[in-house]
Amino acid sequence: MKKFYLTTPIYYVNAKPHIGHAYTTLAADVLARYQKKTNPDAEIFFLTGTDEHGTKIAQAAQKSGQSEQAFCDSVSGEFQEAWKKLEIDYDYFIRTTSKAHKNFASDILVKLKEKGYLVEDSYKGYYCAGCEAFKNKRELEKGNICPDHKTKCEFISEKAWFFKLSEFENKVRDLIERDEIQILPIERKHEVLGFLKQGLANVAVSRQKVEWGIPLPWDKSQTIYVWIEALLNYLSALEINHKENLWPADLHLMSKDILRFHSVIWPALLLALEKELPKKIFVHGYFTINGQKMSKTIGNVISPDELVKQYGADAARYLILTEVVFGADGDISLEKLDKRYNSELADNLGNLLNRTLAMISKYNLEKPDNWRPELEIEIKKEISEFNFQAAGNHIFEFIAKANQKIDKTKPWEMFKLGKKAELENLFFDPQEGILSVLIAVAKAIDIFMPSTSKKILVQIESGKPKPLFEKIK
């Protein structure tokens, strides 16, 4: 069976979605659409969702004055709403507070215990609620400050159940070295291998003092450590959908903040459970604002809603995904996005469609009988390299060239001179004609801008131009 199972991280619901989350989810959406389009016989499954247990969510719920569950329902709803507005077409949205996920996760912990991979011990050390992670003193800045969240870590001392992670150190290293789990871009693979060189300590899989979580079935004084059950979402979602046959994941997408969990703990857990390993992990960079990571905890965020209001869903999708090279960090500013919206979308693409249809109508040009455009814009290489920006550039080169061709050949003068055959050739040549280019563009951009793609084809069909993108003043 041909299949492609891809996932985004499940996002914490301590605060509303921002465009950092939208970035990963949009990338997954574009890849899923590309797979569906190019492999129509394969089963493609695109999973996203929300991560709803743990300290920081309980704290956020308390602050809001709501019960934990009511708070999670509300924020998870906002994520779903945001994805809907961005036309993200996932196959399943998992919530870790769903009964099915909770049952699945507790069954897995029982299995790990039965297999002898869990031991009871105690944890003494630092914990960052922002990362929901145990921290080594040497990872922290002066005053025990988390370098990512700029907040003080709590010193905790509690009983916990531990997973024997260290037993899997060599195996995991070997799998990553041999690209059995391929980690991309390559420098991220090196980073993980460097981290593995320091050796692995066992990792807590339960917390004693965190009530907002899934109880350990055999020790009700403990709840499952949120990261462990979060990783299990990739399996529980398949079980819930009766799609176990889609495992292993073909692609886990994420940013660099959570790579270690996915490239070390996750493979080790899967090895312990005797399950196959994910094939690929792609790690993209951070959106930053004035050089600082955009984060809910820091509070310097742009919401997907703002972008959709400003540009409409399609343009927001396209602009976010092509703003920086996928894999690198990049500073985001609305001024820069406004400029690109005006120049690439309104002036370049919108104008090409508009003036082409206007001229065809004004000059009374007719497509030849049985006219079939033959141009295809191929972005396979760019997409297989996760280079959305290069894919966008490749498509937009065709648009720019078509506009230049119009400016150079001056169809309005050809018309005056009565050069009808030349005009028809200019617009309808199956390979190079402007209309052929527009149709090829519409077909190629559908994964980025699904509605715009349809609009272009509808306008071409009807011959009636309507502005695609209103210019921003």
Instruction: List residues near ligand MSP by CB under 6 A.
Output: 9-12, 20-21, 23-24, 51, 230-231, 233, 254-255, 257-258, 286-287, 293-295
Which residues, 6 or more positions from 286, have their beta carbon under 8 angstroms from its beta carbon? 20, 255, 256, 257, 293, 294, 329, 330
Q: 399: buried, middle or exposed (CB in 10 Å: 19+, 13-18, 0-12)? A: buried
DSSP class of 212? S
Compute the C-alpha angle 329/335/341, nearest 5°. 90
Q: Which one, 23 or 469, has the nearer CB to ligand MSP?
A: 23
**CA 281 from centroid of its chain's CA atoms:** 12
First to last CA, the chain: 51
Residue with Cβ nearer ligand MSP (261 or 398): 261
149/443 with CB nearer ligand MSP:
149
Catalytic residues: 18, 21, 128, 131, 146, 149, 293, 296
In the complex with ligand MSP, which residue's Cβ is closer, 289 or 457? Answer: 289
In degrees and rounded to multiples of 5, residue 11 shows phi and psi of -90, 145
Residue nearest to ligand MSP (CB): 20
* CA-to-CA dists, residue 60 to 52, 64, 70, 71, 187, angstroms: 11, 6, 12, 8, 35
Nearest to 301 by CA among 290, 289, 310: 289
Tokens of 272: 């312990």
CA 321 to chain CA centroid, Å, is 9
| Shorter beta-carbon distance to ligand MSP: residue 213 or 433 | 213
